[in-house]
Amino acid sequence: MAGPLRERMRGPWRKLVKALFRDRQHGPLNPWVRNPWVRNPWLRSPWALSPWPVILGAAFAAGLVARPSAGGTASGSSAQGPAATVQDILDGNQLYIEQRQAKVRDGAKVPDRVRTGDSRAQMAFRAGGTARINRFSQMKLGTNCFFLNQGQVLVSGPQNGCTRSSRMSVRGTNYLISVTATGQAELTVLEGQVMVEPPTSEVLPADARPIAVFGGHRVNLGRNGTVSDRHRLSEAEVAAILNGPLFQGFLTPLSHQLALQTFLQRAYPNLSFPSPSAVADPSANALQSTINGLRQQQGRPPLQALPPELAARNRAYLKPVLQSILAGASCDHDRSRWQSFQDSMGTAAGLKPSSEVLTCGTVRGWDPRQVVDEWLSSPVHRAILLERPRATNVGCSTLSKGEDTVAFCTLWTPDR
């Protein structure tokens, strides 16, 4: 036995090995044979009939030696959870994972296809990034990136994106990919840096290098990872994005929203990042005061205003509905969106949204008393406003277009 190995064998281990190498009938085995278990000195294979496979096999069986799993890791992808999880669904319920209609908190795995109809959605990726998916978009989840086939996706955080011609590699960036029905693709980097290169399936030239696109720039994506028409975003272009469908109405912040806000404040100092909490709504305050005045007349305690953070998220939920009503769409409660709102709020600040009331007809020459009177004429709305003893808080929002104004309120109860 080699010197270093012999030196490492102490105590009981050394005695065990000595015992293994001793034959009770014939005494010590032939010391001249490299494998002492083989008596024929012409057999020189050190592993022929060697005890070490037996010893190592016993160690594996006892769990003393680590054994790789079939997938090469300690656990498969199924044990790690879904590749992406639904956080928000806006403007209806037309979000689909494969062929099934998705709900908030539903998961999608690789290689599921995710698509939207006339709805918008936000999903959280397992790696820590988030994606907001615009209406009528289609994408497929992949191991190293998601593939956008059509539509528009806003990405925030560590999540790579791919198109037919390009792969966008990032770390903690905010960027936007747009693909038309004809396959024309565009990349807008709002913050950070995106490295554009050909898809991994392409054979790269020897001198090929990824192309860096920095925050505040937009490029067209050409074939094999090329870019063209690079230009710096104007203040008006950034404002159009922030006031567009990928920012307005969402309840859950982007994973790297703070980095985006910081960059835009520095690069576009005259531009204000949309913040629902900064919106003042005197008409909504007057409506809440009118509701509380009526409750006092009926011997009911007044409803408290929502804490600032909840009030901001409540307005973000109400705004798209009010916009739809003013645009002439049918006026009705969106049960899917309401359920999503309740699920996303959880037990924030110990409160949860429990019921809602809205005006279906626009009111000319805003009069909060007229709005409340209309609600009281309905037994269901009257019960919500006056006969829910557990209700403690209220949050209202109004929206005007010309002389027309619509209103929406949610009532909240303690989560206990």
Q: Is 3 exposed, middle or buried (0-12, 13-18, 19+ CB in 10 A)?
A: exposed
CA distance 186 to 188: 7
**Predicted local distance difference test score (pLDDT) of residue 238:** 94
Q: Which residue from 140, 99, 136, 143 is spatially nearest to 121, judged by alpha carbons?
A: 136
Distance from C-alpha of 346 to C-alpha of 332, rounded to nearest angstrom: 24
Kindly tell me the sign of the dihedral angle through the C-alpha atoms of 226, 228, 231, 235. Answer: negative
| 88 and 73 Cβ atoms separated by less than 8 Å | no
Residue 136's contacts (CB-CB under 8 Å, 6 or more residues apart) are 116, 117, 118, 150, 151
- Output the pLDDT for position 46: 45
Q: Which fold has domain 82-257?
A: Jelly Rolls (2.60.120)
Q: Which residues pair with 362 in a beta bridge?
A: none
Instruction: Return per-residue pLDDT of the chain as tens, 416 residues.
Output: 445 444 444 554 455 444 444 444 444 444 444 444 444 444 444 444 455 554 545 544 444 333 333 333 333 344 467 999 998 888 778 999 999 999 888 999 999 999 999 889 999 999 899 999 999 999 999 999 999 999 999 999 999 999 998 999 997 899 999 999 888 999 999 999 999 998 865 555 555 688 999 999 999 998 777 899 999 999 999 999 998 889 887 767 888 988 999 999 999 998 887 654 434 567 788 888 899 988 988 889 999 988 877 888 888 888 878 877 777 766 777 787 788 788 777 655 688 899 999 887 665 667 888 889 989 999 999 999 999 889 999 999 888 877 778 888 999 998 76
Tell me whether the CATH fold assigned to 82-257 matches the one assigned to 282-414: no
d(CA 238, CA 224): 28
On whether the CB atoms of residues 291 and 381 are closer than 8 A, the answer is no
Q: How far apart, in whole angstroms, are the C-alpha atoms of residue 8 and residue 3?
A: 9
**Looking at residue 91, what is its pLDDT?**
79
CA separation for the pair 176, 252 (Å, rounded): 18
Pick the CATH number of 282-414 from 3.40.50.2000, 3.40.640.10, 3.40.50.10490, 3.40.33.10: 3.40.33.10
Whole-number pLDDT of residue 277: 41
Residue 76 is predicted with a pLDDT of 38
> What is the distance between the alpha carbons of residues 44 and 407, in angstroms, rounded to a whole number?
93
Rounded Cα distance between 305 and 302, Å, is 10
* pLDDT for the residue numbered 324: 78
Q: What is the pTM of this model?
A: 0.55
Predicted confidence at residue 344, as pLDDT, reads 72
Check residue 316 and give its pLDDT.
80
Q: Which tokens hold the place of 60?
A: 């594996």
Residue 338's identity, in one-letter code, is: W
Domain range annotation of the chain: 3-62, 82-257, 282-414
| Residues written for the chain | 416
Strands 138-140 and 113-116: antiparallel
Q: What is the pLDDT of residue 14?
A: 52
